[in-house]
Amino acid sequence: MGDLQEPTVSQSAAEGAPRDAPGAARRKGPTAGERLARAAGRSWRPAALLLVCCAAWWATAAAELVEPYLVPSPGATFDVLTGEADHLWRHTWVTTYETLLGFGIAVAVGVLSAVVMVSSPTVEKTLYPVLLFAQVIPKIAIAPLFVVWLGFGIAPKILIAVLIAFFPVVISMVTGLKAVDPEMLQLSATMGARPWQTFVKIRFPASLPHLFSGLKVAVTLAVTGAVVGEFVGADEGLGYVILQANGNLDTPMLFAALLVMSLIGVVLFVLVEAAERLLLPWHASRRDPRTGTTAY
């Protein structure tokens, strides 16, 4: 019996500790109910503000403070949304297609341009002023030129969407690529990493939070660009519907088209934000400020 050793305190504590004790088991993610509660906590304020705006709109129309041909009632707008659903859907699909195609091209060209600019200071000093000059030109002023050059097809609308969405993408990407910790770059060089390995493993992942900030701005601007192109010359799309309704003083249709256009922007913004949450769960912006853990 003398050769038996008493278990140490640490061994006894480890053996007696329950498996679900803090630190003894892997932390579980939030349940579906917790995620729903978090989503409700984030969305009730904007939902309440939206209800207040709708109530004010209804009260203004019911009290006849403004003529119906200037501001239609919510009921009249809803009747158009339901009664002209097929008509609105056809034009909505055209605008959405132009927006997505223009946004995709802007992202591809913007990211590539940012990589080239960061890789070569000479290119950056040459290209950056040109990009700034092109950005300050009002797109509505040069849109008629695109119609003259490219015709009344889909090309001018996509080009305007690209030009409007391009600048936020390239600026955010350049900022992200330059925001990498220099010590990380020095460490990778010391360990013999090649430039493309440093870009793939360090620079590009570190730039993604900045890039997604630009993408969320760019995707909403792409909707504006597509509609602006439709204002200038088109026979389909929400911009065409808005122009037709404005010319006919059909304010319920005008308001309905504006609501659908806003909904496109909101949905696309939410999709980009969902992609950010999926691809960047490690970023500080995705953490719960109360606990420091990742917020799903």
Question: What's the confidence (pLDDT) of residue 151?
Answer: 83
The CATH number linked to 199 is: 1.10.3720.10
> Mind listing the pLDDT tens digit for each residue in 185-207?
788 878 877 888 888 888 898 89
Q: Is residue 76 part of a domain?
A: yes
pLDDT tens track for 203-240: 898 899 999 999 999 999 999 999 999 998 888 999 99
Rounded-to-integer distance, Cα 33 and Cα 93, Å: 34
**pLDDT for position 133:** 87
Per the domain annotation, does 240 fall within a domain? yes
Note the Cα 252 to chain centre separation in Å.
29
Rounded to whole angstroms, the Cα distance separating 173 from 171 reads: 5
9: in domain: no
Whether residue 91 lies inside any domain: the answer is: yes
Q: Count CB atoms within 10 A of the CB of residue 60.
A: 14
Domain total for the chain? 1
Maximum average pLDDT range among 133-142, 163-172, 286-295: 163-172
Residue 39, amino acid = A
Average pLDDT of the segment spanning 262-268? 95
Summarize the chain as % helix, strand, coil (round to 5).
75, 0, 25
Q: Is residue 58 in a domain? A: no
- Contact of 228 with 143, CB cutoff 8 Å: yes
Domain-located, residue 14: no
Identify whether 63 is part of a domain.
no
H helix runs in 233-250, sequence order: 238-247
The predicted model scores a pTM of: 0.80
Average pLDDT over residues 233-252: 91
Q: Find tokens 């695109």 and name the residue.
A: 146
- Residue 240: give the domain boundaries: 72-280
Q: So what's the pLDDT on residue 291?
A: 46
- Residue 274 CA to residue 251 CA, distance in Å, equals 34
Residue 16 lies in a domain: no
Bridge partners, 294 (sequence order): 287
pLDDT score for 47: 82
Q: What is the mean pLDDT of residues 109-117?
A: 94
Reply yes or no on whether the pLDDT at 48 is more than 50: yes
Are 158 and 98 within 8 A, CB to CB? yes
* Of 29 and 257, the one with more pLDDT: 257
Q: Which amino acid is at 46?
A: P
